[in-house]
Amino acid sequence: MAKLRYAEALNQALREEMQRDPSVFLFGEDIARYGGVFKVTRGLMDEFGEGRVRDTPISEQTLAAMAVTAAMTGTRPILEIMYADFMPLVLDALINQASIYEYLWNDVSMPFVLRTQGGGGAGAGAQHSKSLDSLVAHIPGLKVVAPVTPADAKGLLKTAIRDSQPVIFLEHKLLYNLRDDVPDDPDFTVEIGKARTVCEGADISIFATSRMVLESHKAAELLAADGISAEVIDLRSLRPLDLSAIKTSIAKTHHAVVVNEGWRFCGYAAELSATIMDHAFDDLDGPVARVTLPDMPVPYSEPLEMAVLPNAAKIADAARATLR
């Protein structure tokens, strides 16, 4: 084990996979000479050269089409889209090419990873703070992961790079400096499609994604002070979803809160709530509560931004209301 920041864990995963497989290469805006806006790719161009770590023009739609083509021709591209807010520009390539090629041509694989970061809390304003999980999780044929710990960041990224299908790898800007133990093992991977139990509880299940896992854990501590035992599940994989972990937890607690930083209407939390109703309704003793961002842009003003983002207090309040 080594104590690494989340960004360092990602960097280590990229380096190890590039050393292991010469078909892996990176490209995106400012990722080579500058090392990435969040320094995830720092030092990789010096080690692997400009042929495998490439700076690109600002043209997300073109870059996504390049990733699809490169994957079809036998390489394993890793594309960085600097902010998740710009993901709508790549949807054509994802929806009409990447996600359906294996369906149309059974002898063609599509092994590429699209990394991007989103989320609020950094005062980045309405154009650089979105959580657009539901846009990509909606598309069959894509895998979507959102690790919250440095170890999961490394393990899931290595698994994504080795996968034969396109994987959307969602990061959060407030996680990059999170430091924790990371296995110092080039063979360490984390399976896509498996949730993680953060803490066990008996009264209510809290299912969360990305940075909201940390807020949910804080909410569990607030609830414990009231004598409420909350179980927190880090979904890790948004698609495919670990239905078994969800059903097992609800069968134990009989109550559920779902937490996602995206918008409420037609958001990922709405789909997760519906999934729980479809597969675990008989074990529920109360309605499923949702804690999300309101249906509005993220404010630039720090006090307003903090007021609208989901947080531990809002999650705990939702749990108490559901139990009542």
Q: Where is the domain boundary, 182, 214, 244?
A: 182
The amino acid at 317? D
Q: Where is the domain boundary, 182, 208, 235?
A: 182
Backbone angles phi, psi at 280, to 5 degrees: -140, 20
What range defines the domain where residue 206 resides?
A: 196-323
* 139 and 207 both lie in a single domain: no
pLDDT for the residue numbered 102: 87
Catalytic position from the list 17, 128, 172, 255: 128
Write down the mean pLDDT value for the chain. Answer: 97
* 132 and 241 both lie in a single domain: no
Per cent of the chain over pLDDT 90 is: 97
Q: What is the pLDDT of residues 96-115, one digit of tens each?
A: 999 999 888 877 899 999 99
Query: For the whole prediction, is pTM greater than 0.85?
Result: yes
**CATH number of the domain to which 24 belongs:** 3.40.50.970
pLDDT for the residue numbered 89: 97
Catalytic position from the list 16, 17, 60, 305: 60
Q: Assess whether pLDDT exceeds 90 at residue 297.
A: yes
Rg (CA), the chain: 19
Q: Where is the domain boundary, 148, 182, 216?
A: 182
* 52 and 174 both lie in a single domain: yes
* 142 and 108 both lie in a single domain: yes
- Residue 137: pLDDT band (50, 70, 90) is very high
Instruction: Give the pLDDT mean for 169-177.
Output: 98
Is 128 one of the catalytic residues?
Answer: yes
pLDDT for the residue numbered 285: 97
pLDDT for the residue numbered 241: 98
Instruction: Give the pLDDT mean for 237-260.
Output: 98
Q: What is the pLDDT of residues 14-54, one digit of tens each?
A: 999 999 999 999 999 999 999 999 999 999 999 999 999 99
Per cent of the chain over pLDDT 70 is: 100
Is 60 one of the catalytic residues?
Answer: yes
pLDDT for the residue numbered 1: 87
Specify burial of residue 230 (Cβ count, 10 A radius: 0-12, 13-18, 19+): buried
Strand boundaries in 127-264, DSSP class E: 143-145, 167-172, 179-182, 196-199, 204-208, 230-234, 237-239, 256-263
**Whole-number Cα distances in Å, 91 to 20, 190, 222, 272:** 30, 27, 40, 22
pLDDT for the residue numbered 107: 79
